[in-house]
């Protein structure tokens, strides 16, 4: 066959089912591409080459290749614990740790017959928007190696956009699936909070973290979402409800008919009410995407959600507060590195030295911020007030959904910026999540779908829907994708040719 790494997951599924290729051939093609290209991209932290080929051979022998996702390679962000496979969450403090168990989503993918290619790079403990905060490497954008691939799931976005993997999982706390998907030309979906298990996901902010798919097409993302979704009794926040019919919705949306669907353009997120900080090229592509929705039959109107403007400060109080609690478990006693254990230091000193050398500067910044926000005398003024803002944001969503079926905005205010451009300016880095934070704080589903290029770099359109209405996100995203034609990443194929 032609280059197997150029095929989408759905195309690979068909080729496997027809006997035109094998899982071993597909897996080897992607491993060869990783060997050839990842030195420049830095997408992977650990590649499980031998285990991947052995697993692919098992799937071929079972005769199930091409059934569902069986036989198709996937990459996992290094925040999912995976039995026997190094798992670091992008941090030195977990260097060398091999978990004794697997995250639920990793187990579900294994049960579905997928082939694990390896673990992808990420901002340390998922804290960042550029994958420059990884303790191990800087990941680069396949569209321009001098630019960031987004974050914190930048390794996953670079792997899929660069054709090192047909599918990948990321996690989204404040936009860490959607923003990297937007700046690398991918589809990335943050499911309804609680609809995909968090068991085995190394926690950053427990009330916000959510695993989800990253892919080159909407249907590919839907297939991956379907494989990992559903109730998990080991996750106390898991919703006991059926997985939304996301695959059916993606296929329906690809027909391009959105007749009767009510779409709200969020005034405060790139609408007429908030344009400062948005690149003109992003606003132009977004406007064109909205026009495509109208052409497909959707009824479009502007909707105001005034509390969305408070999402950024609220998030950067809530998430660091939860992080300061979650990261207390990394003290050098139970797993990961241990510094100063030479007999000359007591336990408290060993813990302090381990954290000093094990945590990077951004993680330390957020732990300090969160600890301060939770401290006596400041809790109600900061963390308590932020939670009240979170309630207001949820109410804005509820009020909007009385009048419309979905909300839309740009996914990111800008295209991918040059590596190093925001490292010394945390506020500029945080602003990359301006559009994605409201859906995270409210726990509602949101998807990013490519809507064109600005100065040769991808732009994403975000679709948000009510809780457990993930299927609406996929339907609308598929309609945009169908109107634009081939997946945006095909432009990278053309450039390579």
The structural domains of the chain, with segments of one domain joined by +, span: 4-255+477-496
d(CA 432, CA 416): 10
**Residue 274's pLDDT band (cuts 50, 70, 90):** low
d(CA 272, CA 409): 11
In the predicted model, is pLDDT for residue 272 greater than 90?
Answer: no
Q: For 190-231, what is each residue's pLDDT tens digit? A: 999 999 999 999 999 999 999 999 999 999 999 999 999 999
The pLDDT assigned to 277 comes to: 87
Q: What is the largest CA-CA distance in the chain?
A: 72
Percent of the chain topping pLDDT 90? 88
Average pLDDT over the chain, rounded to an integer: 95
Higher-scoring residue by pLDDT: 131, 275: 131
In the predicted model, is pLDDT for residue 496 greater than 90?
Answer: no
Q: In degrees to the nearest 10, what's the CA dihedral of 292, 295, 296, 298? A: 90
Give which of 408, 454, 460, 150 is closest to 280, Cα–Cα: 454
Interval 242-252 mean pLDDT: 97
The pLDDT assigned to 347 comes to: 80
d(CA 454, CA 235): 41
Percent of the chain topping pLDDT 70? 99
Interval 167-175 mean pLDDT: 98
d(CA 218, CA 296): 17
Q: Which of 312-321, 398-407, 481-490 has the lowest mean pLDDT?
A: 481-490
Q: In degrees to the nearest 10, what's the CA dihedral of 11, 181, 463, 303? A: -160
**Residue 429's pLDDT band (cuts 50, 70, 90):** very high
The pLDDT assigned to 367 comes to: 95
Higher-scoring residue by pLDDT: 347, 463: 463
The pLDDT assigned to 43 comes to: 98
In whole angstroms, what separates CA 8 from the centre of its chain? 18
Q: For 87-120, what is each residue's pLDDT tens digit? A: 999 999 999 999 999 999 999 999 999 999 999 9
The pLDDT assigned to 196 comes to: 98
Paired tokens of 56: 């692919």
**Residue 273's pLDDT band (cuts 50, 70, 90):** low
Give which of 9, 7, 371 is closest to 225, Cα–Cα: 9
The pLDDT assigned to 335 comes to: 79
Interval 322-326 mean pLDDT: 95
Q: For 439-492, what is each residue's pLDDT tens digit? A: 999 999 999 999 999 999 999 999 999 999 999 999 999 999 999 998 989 888
Give which of 397, 412, 488, 479 is closest to 445, Cα–Cα: 397
Active-site residue numbers?
Answer: 77, 152, 176
**Residue 351's pLDDT band (cuts 50, 70, 90):** confident
Higher-scoring residue by pLDDT: 491, 159: 159
The CATH-assigned architecture of domain 4-255+477-496 is Alpha-Beta Complex (3.90)
d(CA 173, CA 156): 15
**Residue 1's pLDDT band (cuts 50, 70, 90):** low
């Amino acid at each position: 066959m032609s280059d197997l790494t150029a095929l989408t997951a759905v195309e690979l599924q068909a080729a496997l089912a027809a006997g035109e290729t094998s899982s071993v051939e597909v897996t080897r093609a992607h491993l060869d591409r990783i060997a050839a290209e990842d030195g420049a991209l830095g997408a992977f932290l650990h590649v499980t080459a031998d285990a991947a080929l052995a697993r692919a051979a098992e799937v071929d022998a079972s005769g199930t290749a091409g059934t569902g996702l069986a036989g198709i390679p996937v990459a996992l962000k290094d925040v999912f614990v995976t039995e026997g496979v190094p798992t670091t969450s992008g941090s030195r403090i977990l260097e060398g740790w091999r978990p004794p168990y697997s995250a639920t989503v990793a187990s579900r993918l294994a049960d579905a017959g997928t082939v694990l290619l390896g673990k992808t790079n990420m901002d340390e403990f998922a804290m960042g928007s550029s994958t420059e905060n990884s303790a191990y490497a800087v990941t680069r954008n396949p569209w321009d190696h001098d630019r960031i691939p987004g974050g914190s799931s930048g390794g996953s976005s670079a792997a899929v956009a660069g054709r090192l993997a047909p599918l990948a999982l990321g996690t989204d706390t404040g936009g860490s699936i959607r923003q990297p998907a937007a700046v690398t030309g991918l589809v990335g979906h943050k499911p309804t909070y609680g609809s995909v298990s968090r068991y085995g996901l190394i926690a950053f902010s427990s009330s916000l973290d959510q695993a989800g798919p990253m892919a080159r097409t909407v249907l590919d993302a839907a297939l991956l979402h379907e494989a990992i979704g559903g109730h998990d009794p080991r996750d106390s926040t898991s919703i006991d409800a059926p997985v939304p019919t996301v695959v059916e919705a993606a296929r329906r949306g690809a027909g391009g008919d959105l007749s009767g669907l009510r779409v709200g353009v969020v005034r405060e997120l790139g609408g007429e009410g908030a344009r400062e900080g948005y690149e003109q090229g992003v606003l132009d592509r977004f406007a064109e995407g909205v026009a495509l929705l109208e052409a497909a039959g959707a009824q479009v109107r502007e909707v105001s959600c005034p509390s969305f403007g408070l999402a950024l400060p609220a998030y950067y109080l809530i998430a660091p507060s939860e992080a300061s609690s979650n990261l207390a478990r990394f003290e050098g006693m139970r797993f990961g590195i241990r510094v100063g254990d030479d007999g000359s230091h007591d336990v408290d000193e060993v813990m302090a030295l381990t954290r000093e050398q094990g945590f990077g500067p951004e993680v330390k910044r957020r732990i300090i911020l969160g600890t301060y926000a939770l401290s006596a005398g400041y809790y109600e003024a900061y963390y308590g007030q932020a939670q009240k803002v979170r309630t207001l944001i949820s109410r804005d969503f509820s009020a909007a959904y009385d009048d419309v079926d979905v909300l839309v905005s740009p996914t990111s205010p800008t295209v991918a910026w040059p590596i190093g451009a925001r490292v010394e300016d945390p506020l500029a880095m945080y602003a990359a999540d301006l559009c994605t934070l409201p859906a995270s704080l409210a726990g509602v589903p949101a998807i990013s779908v490519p809507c064109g290029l600005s100065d040769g770099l991808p732009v994403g359109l975000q679709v948000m829907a009510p809780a457990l209405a993930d299927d609406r996100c996929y339907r609308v995203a598929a309609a945009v994708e169908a109107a634009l034609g081939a997946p945006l990443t095909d432009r990278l194929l053309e450039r390579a040719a």
